[in-house]
Amino acid sequence: MFQIKICGITNTNDARMVAAAGADAVGLNFYPKSPRCVDLENARRIVDMLPAEIVKVGLFVNAEAEEIRRLYDELGLNLIQLHGDEPPAMLGELSPRPVMRAFRLGSDYLYPVGSYLRHCQHLQCMPCMTLIDAHLEGVYGGTGQVVDWEVLTTYQAIRPEEPIPPLVLAGGLTPQNVAEAIRTARPAAVDTASGVESSPGRKDPAAVTEFARAAREAFGSGR
């Protein structure tokens, strides 16, 4: 659905700049405890001014399915990102809306991802993308911690007998390391928030532009 996502957009100026820099997806964070959280009216202003081709992603952490459905439909979002402890059944409750399921890579590595996807398959509610973020106890993303990219080279093997959702790499990605991350982990897409900020919720234009350029070049080179 996208290759380069900038998450945690909090204002229309940053949204406009991110789209112009070459990102093809933006993330709106609806987690109240996040410094990048946006309210409904601000989110509406951001969505309304973005080009139609930009994928608008709503990020939720342990929210009720009814609330997620309402915001997705009311804002005309393109993708739901579940970034908390939501069970596989939640994806069924959100159907037919597309869901990207986020996982925080911990000491069990990719085992929980494979187990979760098998459960989703049983319930016939597979996510359309899988996002891997860094694990920090009690924190749901935006930590700036880097994922072990080498671990992700085995992602395609966690369910060798079945198709697997495209991998989205997050976790501590910056303009300086995103190309190496793409070459090593070989994801379908990348996602960053804190790695291109001047302060939480405020994007740095130079960093966003360089991140998008480096990611595009790495993807274009065949990774």
> Quick one: pLDDT at residue 135?
60
125 is catalytic: no
The pLDDT, as a whole number, for residue 163 is 86
pLDDT score of 140: 55
Q: Is the CB of residue 99 less than 8 Å from the CB of residue 91?
A: yes
Q: Is 7 a catalytic residue?
A: yes
Which residue from 199, 100, 101, 182 is spatially nearest to 147, judged by alpha carbons? 182
Please enumerate in sequence order all residues whose Cβ is within 8 A of that of 119, keeping only pairs 6 or more positions apart, or say none. 88
Q: Which one, of 137, 163, 145, 129, lies nearest residue 59 by Cα? A: 129
Do the beta carbons of residue 70 and residue 58 sit within 8 Å? no
Domain range enclosing 34: 4-220
Q: What is the CATH number of the domain that holds 23?
A: 3.20.20.70
- Going by C-beta distance under 8 Å and a sequence separation of 6 or more, which residues neighbour residue 222? none
Q: What total number of domains does the chain contain? A: 1
Options 7, 37, 120, 125, the catalytic residue? 7
- What would the pLDDT profile of 59-98 be if each residue is shown by its tens digit? 999 999 999 999 999 999 999 999 999 999 999 999 999 9
Catalytic member of 14, 24, 133, 191 = 133
Give the model confidence (pLDDT) of 177-204 as tens digits.
Answer: 999 999 999 999 999 999 999 999 999 9
Residue 139 pLDDT exceeds 60: no
Q: Is the pTM of this model over 0.85?
A: yes
